[in-house]
Amino acid sequence: MKRARWTMPLTHVGLVLACVVTLYPVLWVVGLAISPGQGFTPGLRPIPHDPTLQNFKELIFTTDAAGHLLFLRQLGNSLLVSALTTIVGMLLSTSAAYAMSRFEFAGRRAGLTALLATQMFPATMMSVPLYAIMNHLHLLNSIGGLVLVYATSSVPFCVWMLKGYFDTIPRDLEEAALLDGATYGQIFWRVVLPLARPALAVTALFSFMTAWNEFILAATFLDDQTLFTLPVALQRFVGEYKTEWGHFAAGAIVVSVPVMAVFFALQKHLVGGLTAGGVKG
């Protein structure tokens, strides 16, 4: 009893300390964003004595030569690229993953191995050949070209994630639907996909986050600042001789908001989607 009496308070103290250590860097970013000026403030206090939203105002209302709100346009570019990458990747990978899971055909194992092998190469290694291909197709400095590049890396990941989940769905359900007169297409849309909603949610979230946070390929293929995505736009605040830390921190907070919103919208599916699919496959 004495041991149990001390265990709970010590556990709570440990959890509080872990939260403080985890949240302190986040508070520093928030403090930089609401601090006047663009430099660091000395001391351990993360929140400044005179907070202001000036950095957010200067960031959001910055205009380009044509008078357009530059940062909001770049935010729209990131949302568009991430959404289209997620949609294209999910549309192509769901049917491919179902075929890999349910049907036996020539080249199935080789195809799965090839898809897995594509995930072993970093973006920096693939940037040069991808740049040559995009230049030949006249897709450099375009949103469509960037979506196409992101989708090529998103599809293999989504196929492997969804294939593992489809393997856990009992085949008896599909056989029962066949006995009731359903076609394979109806089984896929009305039986398999509703059961795979947790896996679809977590796979879509990872695909969205990968496209949202990607920097190297976007910086390589985009030259026009009106087409920049947010990671590239934030990098511009870090110069060779000067760093605008206030604007950078404010931009980092704005960048994190859409990902947090998508995460909370899909959080009820995340536990089931992350644990299922790793059982077999």
Residue 165 pLDDT: 86
pLDDT of 102: 85
Write out the residue range of the structural domain in which residue 2 sits.
Answer: 1-52
281 in any annotated domain: no
Q: Say if residue 41 is in the same domain as residue 137.
A: no
Are 246 and 116 in the same domain?
yes
- The pLDDT score that the predictor gives to residue 127 is 85
16, 109: one domain: no
The reported pLDDT for the residue numbered 272 is 53
| Model pLDDT, residue 31 | 86
Q: How far apart are CA 49 and CA 175, in angstroms?
A: 67
Contact yes or no for 198/276 (Cβ under 8 A): yes
Cα–Cα distance, 14 to 86 (Å, whole number): 39
Q: Specify whether 230 is located in the same domain as 96.
A: yes
Domain at 260, CATH number: 1.10.3720.10
Specify the number of domains making up the chain.
Answer: 2
Residue 243 buriedness (CB in 10 A; 0-12 / 13-18 / 19+):
middle
Q: Are residues 38 and 90 in the same domain?
A: no
Q: What is the pLDDT of residue 42?
A: 64
- Tell me, yes or no, whether 180 and 108 share the same domain: yes
Looking at this protein, which amino acid is placed at residue 258?
A: P
Domain-located, residue 58: no
Residues 146 and 14 in one domain: no
Asked if the structure places residue 280 within a domain, the reply is no
**Cα atoms found within 13 Å of the Cα of residue 51, Cβ hemisphere only:** 15
Q: Are residues 191 and 73 in the same domain?
A: yes
Structure tokens at 10: 């010590």
- Is residue 249 included in any domain, yes or no? yes
Task: Determine the pLDDT at residue 41.
Answer: 67
Q: Is residue 57 part of a domain?
A: no
The structure's pTM equals 0.82
pLDDT of residue 281: 41
Do 43 and 154 lie in a common domain? no
Weakly modelled stretches of the chain, pLDDT under 50 = 273-281
Same domain, 124 and 25: no
148 lies in some domain: yes
Do residues 21 and 148 share a domain? no
Is residue 114 domain-resident?
A: yes
Give the per-residue pLDDT at 78.
92
